[in-house]
Amino acid sequence: MGKICVVGLGYIGLPTAAMFAKSGFEVVGVDINDKAVNLLNQGKIHIEEVGLGQLVKKVVEDGRLKSSLSPEVADCFIIAVPTPNYPDHTANLEYVKSATESLLPYLKKGNVVIVESTIPPRTIDDVVAPIIQAEGWKVGEEIYLAHCPERVLPGKILIELVENTRIVGGINEISAIKAAEVYGSFVTGDIIKTSAVTAEMSKLMENTYRDVNIALANELAKISDKLGINALEVIQLANRHPRVNIHQPGPGVGGHCLAVDPYFIIEKAPEESPLITNARRINNSMPEFVVEHVEKIVGKSGKIAIFGLTYKGNIDDIRESPAMDAVCLLQEKGYELSLYDPHVKQDQVGFTLSTFDEAIDQADLILVLTDHNEFKGLDEVKIHTKMRHSVIFDTKNHVKINSESIKYYNYGNLFKMGKRHIELV
Ligand code: SAJ
């Protein structure tokens, strides 16, 4: 076993570092966040992930994982830093570049350098390799370079890191072989070797596939609203075909993957990607679509209880959340809003959060924007007694309502909304 240096100790880098340590490597984790580094050296973690706390504690106590503000000489370097996007949606590669530069003083012949960060196609060839070459190294001969994207789901990271198929894209064949050997230490899923650019593109296309399919479902919701069709029933029926899988419509697409990655393709080939571009437009238009329907229900003013702010159910992540966009639009229009999200902490948002009781008190509408488990069965008696109007608009088709006197809308019956369903009191 050798030594691995992991640069970037976030949601991907830290679990990856810990898994390598568990499988016998000596691992040094590097981050610019000194608080995170100090915590880790005490065997504690700065992020939430199932099972990660125990694992890190063990490998730190065993002396196999330590953390530092700067890299060290190692056999393999893994870069797992964020790739945020600029306001025009193009990829900001500054962290990837500076992480690569930070390794240069420590590189030695035979090292393997792996980039796990999500990057636009050709970044390994056009951005990362030239930085290493400029130091005088022959990339692919003296230093092996590869892109190995991650594809794990938060909450299941430690399991998926081991079991998922891993794509290993080398700048040349020998680089792919060397990088695949590294992952072979703990990955039980298939490890598939390819070129760096193919690996870059396949990672982006996984999330783009999902984004485009969700856009199709959202477009169906809009069409069905116009034509008086139950979109949810259409999806159910069409999906009985053995080769059809229409996704679910909703208030839009959020998170740091689906709402970001397709733009990395668009920036490289804008003329050739009208479908991907339009899918992004459609999904981005959904908060506005939701707000138009809120207006149809409550009219120009009223109190709206927002249920759910995160980008998807049962997590605490509000990055790129369409729910937050809908909240801003409703606020601009002057509605009184109360926000209820049992997974979000007050310091995460600039708005005041409410309890369930406070949120529904004298509300004219419950607007469900996230499918948290807590929203599945709501207290119908309280809805009756506390709300001014017992109406729910469930953009995730998630809430189960039994009482017939609660008016319930989802994307299956939008067309039943009249111009105005509630008389103002
Ligand atoms: N959504 C819908 N309709 C659907 C499915 C999802 O509107 O039918 C929405 C969700 O509400 C959410 C957004 O899409 O706002 C994204 O959620 P998600 O669960 O599809 O994906 P992420 O962003 O949490 O994680 C994805 C995963 N990629 C795929 O499933 C192809 C994950 O495996 C990747 O590791 C992750 O992106 C990543 O890091 O790239």
Predicted pLDDT of residue 417: 82
Digit-coded pLDDT (tens) for 384-400: 999 999 999 999 999 99
Q: With a threshold of 0.85, does the pTM exceed it?
A: yes
- Of the candidates 238, 380, 308, 57, the one whose C-alpha atom is nearest the C-alpha of residue 229 is 238
Between the alpha carbon of residue 155 and those of residues 15, 51, 320, 415, the distances in Å are: 12, 9, 19, 37
In this prediction, residues 343-359 reach a mean pLDDT of 94
- For residue 118, the ligand 1 atom closest to its alpha carbon is 40
Q: Which two tokens stand for residue 362?
A: 């004298």
Between the alpha carbon of residue 358 and those of residues 296, 348, 364, 390, 425, the distances in Å are: 24, 19, 13, 15, 20
Whether ligand 1 lies within 6 angstroms of the CB of 152 is answered as yes
Confidence of residue 7 (pLDDT cuts 50, 70, 90): very high
- Of the candidates 312, 357, 306, 307, the one whose C-alpha atom is nearest the C-alpha of residue 336 is 306
What is the Å distance from ligand 1's center to 311 Cα? 9
Q: Which of 157, 253, 290, 310 to mutate to test the pocket of ligand 1 (most atoms within 8 A of CB)?
A: 253
Phi-psi map region of 175: left, alpha, beta (phi>0 left; psi -120 to 50 alpha) = alpha
Q: Which two tokens stand for residue 290?
A: 């939701």
Whether ligand 1 lies within 6 angstroms of the CB of 153 is answered as yes
In this prediction, residues 339-352 reach a mean pLDDT of 93
Whether ligand 1 lies within 6 angstroms of the CB of 258 is answered as yes
Q: Which of 49, 83, 116, 153 to mutate to test the pocket of ligand 1 (most atoms within 8 A of CB)?
A: 153
Q: Bigger pLDDT: 46 or 118? A: 118
What is the Å distance from ligand 1's center to 257 Cα? 7
Residue closest via CA to ligand 1's atom 21 equals 258
Q: Look-up: residue for tokens 């999906």?
A: 239
Residue closest via CA to ligand 1's atom 4 equals 248
What is the per-residue DSSP string for 234-296?
Answer: HHHHHTTSTT-------S---SSSTTTHHHHHHTT-STT-HHHHHHHHHHHTHHHHHHHHHHH
- Of the candidates 386, 340, 342, the one whose C-alpha atom is nearest the C-alpha of residue 363 is 386
Digit-coded pLDDT (tens) for 108-163: 999 999 999 999 999 999 999 999 999 999 999 999 999 999 999 888 999 999 99
Residue closest via CA to ligand 1's atom 40 equals 257
Whether ligand 1 lies within 6 angstroms of the CB of 207 is answered as yes
Predicted pLDDT of residue 424: 40
How far apart CA 203 and CA 129 sit, in angstroms, is: 19
Confidence of residue 372 (pLDDT cuts 50, 70, 90): very high
Predicted pLDDT of residue 316: 87
Under 8 Å CB-to-CB from 224, ≥6 apart: which residues? Answer: 230, 231, 234, 411, 414, 415
Q: Bigger pLDDT: 420 or 246? A: 246
Whether ligand 1 lies within 6 angstroms of the CB of 359 is answered as no
Between the alpha carbon of residue 32 and those of residues 27, 91, 99, the distances in Å are: 17, 20, 10
Confidence of residue 418 (pLDDT cuts 50, 70, 90): low
What is the Å distance from ligand 1's center to 258 Cα? 6
Digit-coded pLDDT (tens) for 256-299: 899 999 999 999 999 999 999 999 999 999 999 999 999 999 99
- For residue 251, the ligand 1 atom closest to its alpha carbon is 7
Q: How are strands ordered across the β-sheet holding 26-30?
A: 65-68, 26-30, 3-7, 76-79, 112-115, 144-147, 166-170, 191-195
Q: Look-up: residue for tokens 């962290």?
A: 95
- Domains (ranges, CATH) in the chain? 3-196 (3.40.50.720), 286-423 (3.40.50.720)
Confidence of residue 72 (pLDDT cuts 50, 70, 90): very high
- For residue 248, the ligand 1 atom closest to its alpha carbon is 8
How far apart CA 392 and CA 304 sit, in angstroms, is: 10
SS3 helix, strand, coil % of the chain, rounded to 5?
40, 15, 45
Residue closest via CA to ligand 1's atom 30 equals 207
- For residue 151, the ligand 1 atom closest to its alpha carbon is 35
- For residue 315, the ligand 1 atom closest to its alpha carbon is 24
Q: Look-up: residue for tokens 């570049």?
A: 97
Residue closest via CA to ligand 1's atom 28 equals 207
Predicted pLDDT of residue 155: 82
The helix-helix angle for 196-227 and 231-238 (nearest 10°) equals: 130
